[in-house]
Amino acid sequence: MSLFSKENLRRLKQGFLESIGVADNTVDKKFDNAVQRFNSTKKGLEKIKTTLNSFLTQQEAVNQRTAAVYDAFSSVSAAIPKGPTHNELQAQLKTCGRGHQLHSQTLFNPAKTFFQRKLLEPCDLMQQKIPLINSIVTKCRGLSVDVDAFRHKYSSQKKKDPNELQTKTQTFHQRLNQFSTELAKYQKQFYTLCDRFEAELKLLVE
């Protein structure tokens, strides 16, 4: 949409009229509260994903350091002459190696797979829905300004034409109804998506 489109100019004009107190600005608490709730849910989703990724990264680093220690000791043992010390160190290294392998196979790798499948992948799918919901919020904001603009136009014109005999008055009334209907449709869609988005996040953390 062009910055100087008829729609944008109308909304800019309405915003100016509201700022100087000539036109009323409708406050929709239900919609504003829903947007605030959606934004909070988005932040919660991002926090879950960030925390899990950080945890898995840290655990991966621990896993790698443990493997590095095992490899270092293995190199040292190779340089020790054969004998009791060598045999004792080899036995300890085998125990360390088995412990590391067991930790990777039975704890870290299954946990990593579980978190990725049950939490991170659903988080990614939820984040893919955010742009659509944001676009609907923007659409609702714009339509709300349109409704206010034509409510102001219609109210002012009706004072001059109480019986709505003039085409101008009828047109303003029709546009007011048109934008009001469109706004209600998009708000309903937003409420549905917002509730569903919030419910999906609750299922992830329960």
DSSP annotation of 107 reads I
Buried b (16+ CB within 10 A) or exposed e, 133-143: beebbebbebb
Instruction: Supply 51's token pair.
Output: 């925390």
How far is 62 from 55, CA to CA, in rounded Å? 11
Whether the Cβ atoms of residue 149 and residue 11 lie closer than 8 Å to each other: yes
Whether the Cβ atoms of residue 24 and residue 18 lie closer than 8 Å to each other: yes
- Number of other CB atoms surrounding residue 24 within 10 Å: 12
Whether the Cβ atoms of residue 49 and residue 123 lie closer than 8 Å to each other: yes
Cα–chain center distance at 102: 37
**Rounded average pLDDT over 20-25:** 55
How far is 27 from 18, CA to CA, in rounded Å? 12
Q: Which of 26, 24, 19 is nearest to 156 (CA)?
A: 24
Burial zone of 2 (CB within 10 Å; 0-12 exposed, 13-18 middle, 19+ buried): exposed
Winning range, highest mean pLDDT, from 60-74, 75-89, 95-109, 172-186: 172-186
pLDDT (tens digit per residue) in 33-62: 999 999 999 999 999 889 888 888 887 777
The model's pTM? 0.71
